[in-house]
Copies of this chain bind each other. A is one copy, B any other.
Amino acid sequence: MASMEDIVSLAKRRGFVYQGSEIYGGLAGTWDYGPLGTLLKRNIVNEWLKYFVDGWSDMYQIDSAILMNPKVWQASGHVDTFSDPLIECTNCHARHRADHLLRANHILEDAINYDEPAPSPKWAELLKKIKCPVCGKTGGFSKLKQFNLMFKTNVGPVEDKESAAYLRPETAQGMFTNYKNILDSFYPDLPFGIAQVGKAFRNEISPRDFLFRVREFEIMEFEYFIPESIWEEKFEKWRKDMHSWFKHLDLPEAKIKEIEVPEDDRAHYSKRTIDFQYDFPSLGFDEIGGLAYRTDFDLKNHQEHSGKDMSYRPKDGSAPVIPHVIEPTFGLDRNFLAVLSNAYSEDEVEGEKRVYLKLPAHLAPVKAAVFPLLKNKPELVAKAKEVHKLLRKQIQGEVMWDDNGNIGKRYRRQDEIGTPYCVTIDFQTLEDDTVTVRNRDTTQQDRMKIEEIIGVVK
């Protein structure tokens, strides 16, 4: 079975994902998407928009700023409560997340929501038995301190408390602060949703597991505004749709788990939460999305802190209400990692180990590749260019040209980036206008007329 290391290595080798700032030794918790990763990510985003946003007349997509007025984060509760339990080894001064240490030592195994841990007084006792993973000393930890996960900066030329601002730790508040704008510009019927795809930042104490726990990440999500009375019905609707989305990403049923988050472990704003987990290599089941019933918590708090009326006036003239909110969230990088992990496959071809990405065609970054059999035969190259141009015109998505190395090498390269079909132009092509089309998954090659390729690739 593939390990996370295999995935990381392929991602780098083939230009999906590189370590951020790599030439300077990196910056922990940041990653750069290479050309193929950018294409794959773009495909996931476009599919998500098609699935949940575009063409739905109850959905409004926005793109709000990463820097927001700090009052937003007071109203949302992030300034006060968005923190992780930090401890320091008194011997080597390495800093750790207490909950991660406890979990790594199998001391906390029950269904705790590690993203918003509520440290119990018992933890200090438990930590006494644990070794520092850096220096090995047992139980020598400082008192637990809550460490706020928001990145802080200063806006404007003066660096003081007044000018402090935060990089948004979630995109949701952009939807809540624009809720009134949407009402004023579009007069939507209730229920309606405000969606966004964008970056968020969390100053994780110890980023880890490749794209899984990072400091800079992307979220696809929407806030769905409803009358309170229908929350259970809509919660169920979105639960089903989220499930179908993961299926649309070709993630198998057996690798997706829905976890009902118990009350004690839910975020402070949520009355019901379901986590969607994927069975990652090495890491096991962990979160790739979540569905939360946020009630009217956010709108009410913003009404209180901003003094702006957040109620919705029903068009039938009935009494104004503050809508309740159901929030389906998808970690884009984690969805990406799940797709990549799931596609990663190994088999044996002609006695040699082969690595290939079994990506579904709608997600594959490259839809087809075109090879001239030999790059130093002008007549082959000319014919191949012709075919390349034709496919480019007819097929939506990237059609790659590849003339580097021998055909075997090119197949291996295309296999590793998940290209479903490779089209080779050889000497017979010049005679009868046929080419070989090679299937990524079966490695079978079929000879066919040029005009037949489109049908196969589509």
Q: Which residues of A contact B (CB under 8 A)?
A: 12-15, 18, 20-35, 37-39, 41, 54-55, 57, 60-69, 71-72, 86, 95, 147, 151-158, 165, 167, 174, 177-178, 180-182, 185-187, 199, 201, 203, 205, 215-216, 302, 305-306, 308, 392, 398-401, 404
Residues of the B chain whose Cβ atoms lie less than 8 Å from the Cβ of A203 = 154-157
- 11 further A-B contacts with Cβ under 8 Å, apart from A15-B182, A18-B181, A34-B182, are A15-B181, A21-B65, A22-B181, A23-B306, A27-B155, A29-B155, A31-B65, A34-B185, A35-B182, A152-B153, A199-B199
**What are 9 A-B residue pairs whose CB atoms fall within 8 Å in the complex?**
A15-B186, A21-B68, A24-B69, A26-B69, A37-B63, A39-B61, A95-B158, A153-B153, A156-B205
Minimal beta-carbon separation of A172 from chain B (angstroms) = 13
Known contacts A27-B68, A401-B57; is A62 also within 8 Å of B34 by CB?
yes
- Residues of B within 8 Å of A71, CB to CB, are 21, 24
Are A216 and B63 in contact, with the CB atoms below 8 A?
Answer: no
Tell me if A178 and B404 are in contact (CB < 8 A): no
Q: Which residues of B contact A185 (CB under 8 A)?
A: 12-15, 34-35
**Which of chain B's residues have a CB closer than 8 A to the CB of A205?**
156-157
Contact between A27 and B165 (Cβ–Cβ < 8 Å)? yes
Q: A31 to B154, alpha carbons, bound, how many Å?
A: 17
In the assembled complex, how far is the CB of residue A301 from the closest CB belonging to chain B, in whole angstroms? 11
Give, as a whole number of angstroms, the nearest-CB distance from A134 to chain B. Answer: 14
Instruction: Say yes or no: B306 contacts A68, CB within 8 Å.
Output: no
**Which of A31, A55, A71, A182 counts the most B-chain CB atoms under 10 A from its CB?**
A55
In angstroms, how far is the closest chain B Cβ from the Cβ of A72?
6
Q: Is the CB of B181 within 8 A of A64?
A: no
Q: Which residues of B contact A13 (CB under 8 A)?
A: 185
- How distant is the Cα of A126 from the Cα of B84 in the complex, in angstroms? 53
Partner of A54, one of B25, B32, B153, B398: B398
Are B64 and A33 neighbours in the complex by a CB distance under 8 Å?
A: yes
Contact B61 A186 (CB under 8 A): no
Q: With the chains together, A21 CA to B38 CA distance in Å?
A: 30
Docked CA distance A28–B55 (Å)? 33
Q: A15-B182, A22-B177, A308-B23 are in contact. Are A30 and B65 (CB under 8 A)?
A: yes
Q: Note all chain B residues with C-beta closer than 8 A to A186.
A: 15, 35
A35 partner, pick from B18, B61, B65, beta carbons under 8 A: B61
Question: How many angstroms between the C-alpha atoms of A34 and B196 in the bound complex?
Answer: 10
A-B pairs with the 8 shortest C-beta distances?
Answer: A15-B185, A21-B69, A30-B65, A32-B64, A33-B63, A24-B69, A23-B306, A20-B65
Residues of B within 8 A of A55 (CB): 392, 398-399
User: A197 to B23, alpha carbons, bound, how many Å?
Assistant: 21
Which residues on the B side are within 8 Å of A68 (C-beta)?
Answer: 20-21, 27, 30
- In the complex, A253→B399 CA distance in Å? 34
Nearest-neighbour CB distance to chain B for A289, whole angstroms, equals: 21
